[in-house]
Structure 1
């Protein structure tokens, strides 16, 4: 009689629970079967375990495969028995990084975030030689417990940690205008900086290919490649993407070029944000601090605060430049821009795409707050 359809419940006491095969997480083969394999081997060698009758049983999943038989024979020759291993589940080691060792690990990661895991193991062990060195997995679990995660590394100049520059950075974040930005409304902050992009900037640094081949693709030659200078200012307004930029196909940023940019930017704000004053922030480039630039900004009723030297991570605009560079490498137009003019058009498009969304998240990322205490 055919079995009932799946939706019909079987009568009580007639259901048989399916058992897993030993090779797929089920119970191990019986001890009688294990002894039978050893006896067949002793009486006829491996040939006795490779007969048509046994192959038929293997097809029916009623006899172990050849590799299993070999492992049993090896186990019997070494230990004198073929007892199965006791299933006790996967368990972590009870010895974990804790106490003073965990504290030392946290301090070391703060000082040397780019250290290799073996350097971390050696450091923790050297500070407490009475304990055996920790394994890789124990260190990884301890770092996970501390909330550490792997990130792309970056480097900050040694000059940034000079006492005078650390003091300037603390003043920038902890003091009010004109010394810092504490208490400033994030919606009135504007960050300004310059960046250079080359045709070569579109080339991706890494890729995948066969081991025997170069990871090669067509692109621009490095020597004499075209260059575009971008001067850009972004606002922290949470309502829309306040931004103003200019692109120059030749040369870098000089005083005359930056003065014209600031003059046009301030005029842009007067038209699009009338009767609203802003606080500009930028790095310590000499032309940024030139008296004619300061007079231009303050004469229009705006203010300016300079970031601490060498601390580019405090500038929201730096992360915007990184986003622009990433989008430039994501071009779907074959090999990207081939001329400086095409590169300028591409940069214009990317900036206008970013302006659709507010830049406020970039300001929050570097340390600005929506509500200041």
Structure 2
């Protein structure tokens, strides 16, 4: 059943989770009453007194300077992430004694998130290459969720190579890989964003059922301890200014971890205060850049731009010429009912678009 974000939180929290760019759609969904009185901000001031960070850029605007740079993961940080992504998603000898290059974490009964490193043994890795989402499925044309899910892997196999692809009708996982850096892979030159060339396993037509029907021990959503652990690990703050005080532990609904100088990985939950969160709804990356077409990594996937410095979270959405911040790609990890429509597991190409003027 899809998670209905607009009904699981009240209107004010929804605006914090989603932001001002979705305000009109949210207002229509939640039935705002018309009023001649000026809207009030959270601190009770009238709309005319509010500074939401969306006014024209000026010489004192910090966003006219490039966003702060991040840093690659240290070896200690990699080991800590490996320990936290501790679910055994791939069964059989293919994961004995470890799943090659991957560590995984269930986030629902049908989906998991993963980290893909540069060494077969994740504990010996030096660099993170891809992050991604896996969803249960069947190896068939009808079973492939979307074009971002380029690779199918059987849930049980005698060895890792033997798990790639399979016979039509086999059960396993469809995987999306999102590159976090520029590098040369066996599939070509890779840059930050959805890797549509990652080890393709083209499926064939299948007359049988294309819905997976298997269970794995440990599958299910994150519990409170899992969320607390992730908060401790995803402890970087790429967003600055007053917006960093709008949620918990900083900005609403998001936590982030720098993985290169220009890219961070983020988790997007269903509550602005993560102490009240119950579900992860999106997994993705942010890329340092400018509010220009030349800087936007992939216009269909990176739908949303957010300024690195803003007085409020709502005020950080979008930008103007000359402003800097981050381009974000959001990959849904569960079916959702959002103000802009139903969202399937996959890249949400309708997520709060911030069109370039």
Q: Do these two structures clear the TM 0.5 threshold for a shared fold by scoring above it? A: no
Q: Specify the TM-score bucket, using the shorter chain as the normaliser.
A: under 0.3
Considering fraction of residues, name the structure with more helix: 1
| TM-score normalised to structure 2 length | 0.22
Point out the structure with the larger strand share: 2
Structure exhibiting the larger radius of gyration computed from Cα positions: 1
